[in-house]
Chains A and B, each alone.
Chain A
Amino acid sequence: MPTRRLSIVLAEDSLLLREGLASILDRAGHDVRDSVGDADTLLAVVRKDPPDVVITDVRMPPGHSDEGLRAAAVIRAELPVIGILVLSQYVADAYLSSLLETTSGGIGYLLKDRVGHVTEFLESLDRVAGGGMVVDPEVVRQLLARRRNDGPLAALTPRELEVLALMAEGRVNASIAEQLVVSEAAVRKHVGNIFAKLRLEDGLDRRVSAVLTYLRG
């Protein structure tokens, strides 16, 4: 069960998926306040009465290009407190930059397939609602494939990079520890080192900032 009941606006042009998503969110006890099929209606609905979270498809009418991403950027600029979870049938790191323009507020970018893993999906949603960041493992994999030899990340050890990559996926320390088969204390130490090496000030947003540094390479 979710930590709190979220009011959600859903933007997805496929009726099938809209209903599938709505039923999953309903079951989890969230309030799907509005379901819309295009970006313009999404903006209108959100401006009229801001929800906790917006879940939006990338590709929507009329252009079937990246209307959802552009609407997300507008919402970020106008109402940064709203968490935004962007879903797509296809993810690539090239799309991240338009999502990462501001650090405040929760943001998520996931492959639509992930919705089928209901428990994890709902956790991701909670994290986005709580101001956290969730990036699809596929995108993280793409980023990892690219060797980075310069920039602030050069100071990190391979293990620390691994931890950071898992943080980018939106995992908490316990989950990272489980994944890497180490103790949670070891993970906390790595995370502390990462914060120190990236020279991040103490504060709530440190985790997000670290992930942003990572994602921006």
Chain B
Amino acid sequence: MESPKTVWAALASPRYLISSWPWRSYGYLFTSVPMGGLAIGVLIGLAALGAVLSPILIGILLLTAFPLVGAAIGRVERWRAGLMLLDGISSPHAKLPRTLSLRQRRTFRRREQASMRALGYSFVLGVLLWPLSALFAGISATVLGVSLAAPIIADGDEMGMGPWTLDTFWEGLLFLVLFTPPFYVVSSYLLGVIAGAQASLAKAMLGPREQELQRNLAELRRSRLDLVDAFETERVRIERHLHDGVQQRLVGLTMTLGLAELDLPEGDGRRLVVKAHAEAEAALADLRAAVRGIHPRVLVDHGLEAAVREVADRMPLPVTLQLSIPMRLPPPIEAAAYFVVSEALANVAKHAQAANCEVSGWVDRDRLVITVQDDGIGGARLGAGTGLTGLVTRLDALGGTLDVDSPPGGPTRLRMECPCRLGD
């Protein structure tokens, strides 16, 4: 039989009385005495300090130091509750990034709801729990100790136990045999229940709340998605800005230069204008390529298949396409997939020494899957200076993955997977 993990499971077990659990209960109740004393001492001390220094300071302390003290006590108490609940109590506090300064951490911690709960628990511990523990565990331990020692005490002296008076060793032994076992049974269960109730109270007040966990998780995902979305919006804005601004002006310039060519007679002047015209056109072509790298228009207007086809057409090596993506996907997903393919193909052209390349894309149970495979020399790695590293982060925020399998000697196979919906 599996040994119980909590005091409640232990209480239900027939082996409770011969297990370590009654003694754990004693341990838990007795250690709550110094903890409770410490808690109430520190809290009263702080309050008194504030009252002495200035009345306003109490208010400030209540808002700043108290929650932090509460959180610190909570931390010790969660550890102590491990006596009663072997799996312990996990922390309700949010994990903070390492980059935060100590000051920022403190500010965050004291505003956390969990810190306020821990402060509340500290008061309950300091005012109610430790006297209660001291009373029950103290009386119980004393009675148990005395009854175990009854034969010896009664042998030397007269001993009054409730209605009985014991004055010989044998009377003491009789008392030990008759009284101690039932007392041990009753007191052990009683203390187990009291200690268990305290540990459960600690868990309820110091542990993470279900909706808190859910909310934190949802918030985290949402904020990451927001970030991806913000990047996407920014790219659209930049593309629009280039389209409406510098591209228009360059097109206007080519028109003017074209007209100038018509008006000028053959000669050096005309040759220069023709050259300027060609340069303006080259600048436009460069700009178009740059815009394609920022936010390809065909992706917005015609979706992933058309955009991937266009990238494939620009490759210096033949690219076979096997695309079957029946619907339009949310823009951040289409963009991520597009840039994965475009980056992967660029890498194939630059490094793989491949003669052929195949891009496949399909939707499998609400997940978009894209593979890019070449017949090159292999040895490619994610993060080895490729532009794919940033795309891994981007995919991660969308709940997707990117894997590269590229043994030395080839072939290289890249596989991308991503949910077809945002927030999945």
Contacts and interface: CB of A to CB of B under 8 A. Distances in A.
Interface of A: 14, 16-17, 20-21, 23-24, 27, 59, 64-66, 89-90, 92-95, 112-113, 115-119, 121, 142, 145-147
Contacts of A24: 255, 258-259
Q: Chain A CB within 10 Å — which of B255, B256, B284, B301 has the most?
A: B255
Interface in B277-307: 277, 280-281, 284, 288, 291, 297-298, 300-302, 306-307
A93 B310 CA distance: 8
B313 A145 contact: yes
A176 to B, nearest CB: 23
B248 interface: yes
A118 B254 CA distance: 10
Interface string B252-284: 101111110110000000000000010011001
B255 A92 contact: no
A94 B254 contact: no
A66 B301 contact: yes
Contact of B258 (A93, A94, A115, A142): A115
Nearest to B291: A90
A101 to B, nearest CB: 16
Given A66-B301, A89-B243, 15 more contacts: A17-B248, A17-B255, A20-B252, A20-B255, A65-B300, A92-B298, A92-B310, A94-B302, A94-B310, A95-B301, A113-B254, A116-B258, A116-B280, A118-B258, A147-B318
B284, B297, B307, B309, most chain A CB atoms within 10 A: B297
Given A90-B297, A142-B313, A117 B258 contact: yes
A17 B251 contact: yes
Contacts of B328: none
B254 A116 contact: yes
Interface in B74-121: none
B351 interface: no
A146 B284 CA distance: 24
A21 B254 CA distance: 11
Instruction: Choose among A24, A27, A121, A145 the residue with the greatest number of B CB atoms under 10 Å from its CB.
Output: A145
A95 B252 contact: no
A112 B252 CA distance: 9
A37 to B, nearest CB: 13
B338 to A, nearest CB: 13
A121 B280 CA distance: 17
A116 B281 contact: yes
B77 to A, nearest CB: 60
Contacts of B280: 116
Nearest to A16: B252
Contacts of A146: 309, 313
A89 B244 CA distance: 10
Given A116-B277, A147-B318, A89 B262 contact: no
Interface string B299-338: 0111000110110011000100000000000000000000
A20 B256 contact: yes
A115 B302 contact: no
Contacts of B313: 142, 145-146
Contact of A65 (B252, B301, B307): B301
Contacts of B309: 94, 146
Interface string B151-180: 000000000000000000000000000000
Contact of A14 (B244, B259, B284, B314): B244
B421 interface: no
A92 B308 CA distance: 12
A118 B262 contact: yes
A47 B396 CA distance: 51
Nearest to B284: A113
A23 B298 contact: no
Contact of B306 (A16, A94, A119): A94
A23 B260 CA distance: 12
B298 A115 contact: no
A121 B256 CA distance: 14
A17 B257 CA distance: 13
B250 to A, nearest CB: 9
A27 B258 CA distance: 12
Contacts of B254: 113, 115-116
B401 interface: no
Contact of B247 (A66, A89, A119, A145): A89
B240 interface: yes
B249 interface: yes
Closest 4 CB pairs of A and B: A116-B254, A116-B258, A94-B306, A20-B255
22 contacts: A14-B248, A16-B252, A17-B252, A20-B256, A24-B258, A27-B262, A89-B247, A90-B297, A92-B310, A93-B310, A94-B301, A95-B301, A113-B251, A115-B254, A116-B251, A116-B255, A116-B257, A116-B281, A142-B313, A145-B314, A146-B313, A147-B318
B297 to A, nearest CB: 5
Nearest to B255: A20
